[in-house]
Structure 1
C-alpha cells in the first residue's frame, strides 16, 4: 500500500466514477482500475460495489475512507509544519464561508504581504458539516453567523452588521426611515430559500416578534431578490453589507433591538495551523477590532 493508492482511492470514492476520476488524476482508466484492484488485494476485501460505470463505496470502503482522510490530512499538516520550520512564507489558507464579500478586503490585504500564500474557499450549508471539516483538518477556519459549540473548537465574534428591511420605491413605507416588525406582519416577503443562513436568522427574529412571514417568492441569490423587489412583488430583509452605491430599492432600519447579525471565526484547537493561517487569523481579528469593516 502506498500514498498514491490512497489518493486515487479517495478520488474514486468522491466522484463515484472511474473514468471521471481517471481524467482528474491524469491517468488512464485501466491504470486506475488496476491501482484500486491492488489496493483491495492489499486490504483483503473489496472496497467498492460496481454497477456498470458507477462505483460506490461498500461498508468496508466507508470505514477505510474515514481512516484514509485522517491520514492524508495528517500528512498535509506535517508538510505545513515542516515548511513553517524552514521559514517558507507560502502555503494555503482554507476557509469555509458563505459571506466572502465581507472578508475579501482582508484577503487582498493579506496577499499584499504574503503573495505566495493561496486561499481555498468552500461553502457548506450546515453547521454540522463545518464542524466536520474543522475537526478533520479539511479547513483552517469557518466564518459563519453561528458559533460552533463543541469541545476543541474556538469561536470569536469578528463582525456585527445591521439587518434592514428593503421595500420598492413605490411602497407606502418608502418615505420612512425605520419600521417596527409589527407594522409589516401582513406584507408579502421575498426571501432566500429555507436552509440559507440569512433566512434562518430572519426566521428567528420573526419568531421572537411572534409573527410569520408570508413568503411569496424564494430565491437562491441576492441579485434575484433585488430584481423581484424592483418588480414590486413584495418586501425583503436585507443586510447592511450588501448595500450598494446605487441601491435599487428603499431601505428601513428595524426599530426592535434584535436586528444585529454577528459573524464568528471558528477553528479547531486540536489541529495545527500553519504560520500563514496564524498570520491571516491575526490580521482578520485586528482588522475588525480596529473598526476597519
Structure 2
C-alpha cells in the first residue's frame, strides 16, 4: 500500500465522484478506477459501494480514510524534516484563524514575522472551524476558541477576553459606565447570524439568564458590523480588543457589560504527534507573545 494509491483513494473519498476526482488528480477515470480496484484487492474489502451513479464509502473505506490521512501526513512530516536539515529555507506554515482576529488583530504580527523570517511562507486561512481544520491536517496551527481536552492535540491557552457593547458616540448609551445584557433587549442590535461562534457565545449567556436578544440586522463580518454601528443602525456586542486595534472607528465607543458578561477563551492548537518545523515553533512563540503583550494571555500552560 503506497501513498500514491492512498492519495487517489482520498480524492475519491472526499468527492464521492470518480470522474471529478480523476480530473483533480490529472489522470484518466479508467486509471483511477483501476487503482482503486487494486487497493480494494489489497485490503480484501470494497472501499466504495457503487449504487447506480452514486458512490458511497463503506465502513472499510471510512477506516482507510482515517489511517490514510495519517500516512500522508507522516510522509509530509518526513520530507519536511529532511528538507529542513539540508536547506536554509524555513518552509511553509498553514495557520487557521477566527475571521475577526485575522481581519482586525493579527496582520501587524504577520508583517513583523515576515520581516524577521523572510524565507518563511505563511498561509493564513479565515475559518470558524479551527479545530476541525487542525484535526484534518489541513493546517499546521490554529487559533480558536478553547475546547475540551483532546489527546490528539497540543492546546496552549492564549488567555480570556470579555465582550463589550460597541455603540455610536451619539447614542443615548454612549455615556454609560456599564450595561447589562438584559437591558439590551430594549435597544437595536446588529449581530452575527445565529450559528456564528461569537453570536452563539453571547446567546448562550443570555439564555442562561432567561431571555433572548433581538436584532435589527445580521451580517457575517466584523467589519460590516462596525460599519453599521458607525452608521447608527444599531449597537453590537464584540470582543473588547476588536475596537482597540482600529482607532479609525472614532465614532464608536465601547461600554463594559456587567456580570455575567460573555467571555471568550482563546487557544493555540496543533497536532501532538506530527513534525513541528522551526518556522512553526517561531510563529507559535510569536503568537503567544503577541497575546501576552495585549494583557490577554496570562498563565499560559500546555494542554494535551
- TM-score (normalizing by structure 1): 0.81
In the alignment, structure 1 residue 179 sits paired with structure 2 residue 181: no
Higher mean alpha-carbon deviation, 207-216 vs 22-31, is at: 207-216
Root-mean-square deviation (CA, aligned residues, Å) is 3.2
Shift of 1:209: 5.8
Taking the TM superposition and a 5 Å limit, the aligned residue runs for 1:213-228 are 213-226=213-226, 228=228
Q: Give the conservation status (yes or no) of the 8 Å contact 2:178–2:255.
A: yes
Q: Structure 1: where are the runs of 5+ without partners? A: none
Q: Structure 2: where are the runs of 5+ without partners? A: 297-304
Tell me the alpha carbon deviations over residues 229-272 of structure 1, each in whole angstroms, 9 at most, x when there is no partner. 46755432133444344438633311526465442212344333
In the alignment, structure 1 residue 276 sits paired with structure 2 residue 279: yes
Taking the TM superposition and a 5 Å limit, the aligned residue runs for 1:63-212 are 63-98=63-98, 99-101=101-103, 102-123=105-126, 125-126=128-129, 129=132, 133-134=134-135, 137-151=137-151, 153-158=153-158, 161=161, 163-168=163-168, 171-174=171-174, 176-181=175-180, 182-207=182-207, 211-212=211-212
Aligned residue for 2:252? 250
Higher mean alpha-carbon deviation, 118-127 vs 277-286, is at: 118-127
Q: Go from structure 1 to structure 2 and tell me whether the alpha carbon gap of 1:128 and 1:154 turns closer, same or farther (over 3 Å shift).
A: closer
In the alignment, structure 1 residue 33 sits paired with structure 2 residue 33: yes
Q: Separation in 1 of the partners of 2:190 and 2:288?
A: 34
Aligned residue for 2:301? none
Shift of 1:71: 0.9
